[in-house]
Amino acid sequence: MTVETRPATPDDAAALCKLSLLLGYETSAETMRHRIKALDKSGGAAVFVAVHPSDGVVGWVHITRQRRLTSDAFGEIVGLVVVPAFRRKGVGRVLLNRVMMWSESHGVADIRVRVQAHRRGAHNFYESMGYTLLKDQRVYHRHTPVPDADTRPTLVD
Ligand SMILES: CC(C)(COP(=O)(O)OP(=O)(O)OC[C@H]1O[C@@H](n2cnc3c(N)ncnc32)[C@H](O)[C@@H]1OP(=O)(O)O)[C@@H](O)C(=O)NCCC(=O)NCCS
């Protein structure tokens, strides 16, 4: 099956939202448009879409360049999803190849991805693509409301 990959543009927002819902993340098309534009400017991240000649966008992947005090820079896949009707047809593989090329061109040799424990299909996918299990982790979260920019206290670093 032929799919091509290209960088996502703000016009892909609606398609990306639909696919994000499959991962459990609900986002409006307008918010998604803003996020795609912001990523474009950041330079340390990219979103690629897989496009089928008649069905349009059938998958996307989001890769970021991570810097840590404790390791060399590495690439991190922070989202990857393929439309159910197009799974097991090589679309995920094509998207992974694209992020590998992006990582090489950004000087990072190591690519990581965190996958939720229940996503067994994805575990099999990454393992068959040559990824090996590095560690098991828990993800903690705390929400702190942030004041508007004009009332935010100034922090001296
Ligand atoms: C994981 C996912 C992206 C894989 O995409 P895909 O397009 O179906 O993957 P591919 O067709 O390129 O698969 C390549 C190989 O990976 C392995 N593989 C892929 N999905 C698999 C599954 N569900 N079970 C077992 N092996 C699997 C197979 O070896 C496959 O080759 P084969 O079909 O010739 O046997 C897709 O299933 C998906 O979107 N899942 C839901 C979202 C998700 O879990 N995302 C990952 C979180 S970051």
Q: For the residues 52-66, what does the mean pLDDT come to?
A: 96
How confident is the model over 29-37, as a mean pLDDT?
95
Q: Among residues of the chain, what percentage have pLDDT more than 90?
A: 87
| pLDDT above 90 for 150 | no
Atom of ligand 1 at shortest range from CA of 77: 48
40: alpha, beta or left, given left = phi > 0 and alpha = psi -120 to 50? alpha
CB-based contacts of 82: which residues, under 8 Å, 6+ apart?
50, 58, 59, 91, 92, 95
Do the Cβ atoms of 84 and 92 come closer than 8 Å?
no
Tell me if 47 sits within 8 A of 32, measured CB to CB. no
Answer whether 77's CB lies under 8 Å from 33's CB. Answer: no
Q: What is the pLDDT of residue 157?
A: 66
Quick one: which of 80, 93, 83 has its CA closest to 48?
A: 80
Query: pLDDT (tens digit, 9 = 90+) per residue, 62-91?
Result: 999 999 999 999 999 999 999 999 999 999
| 128 pocket-lining for ligand 1 (C-beta < 6 Å) | yes
Classify residue 50 by burial, with Cβ atoms within 10 Å: 0-12, 13-18, 19+. Answer: buried
The domains of the chain, with CATH numbers, are 4-151 (3.40.630.30)
Predicted confidence (pLDDT) per residue in 95-111, tens digit: 999 999 999 999 999 99
Q: For a substitution probing ligand 1, which of 78, 87, 116 has the most ligand atoms within 8 Å of its CB?
A: 87
Average pLDDT, the chain: 94
Spatial contact of 6 and 47, defined as CB atoms under 8 Å apart: no
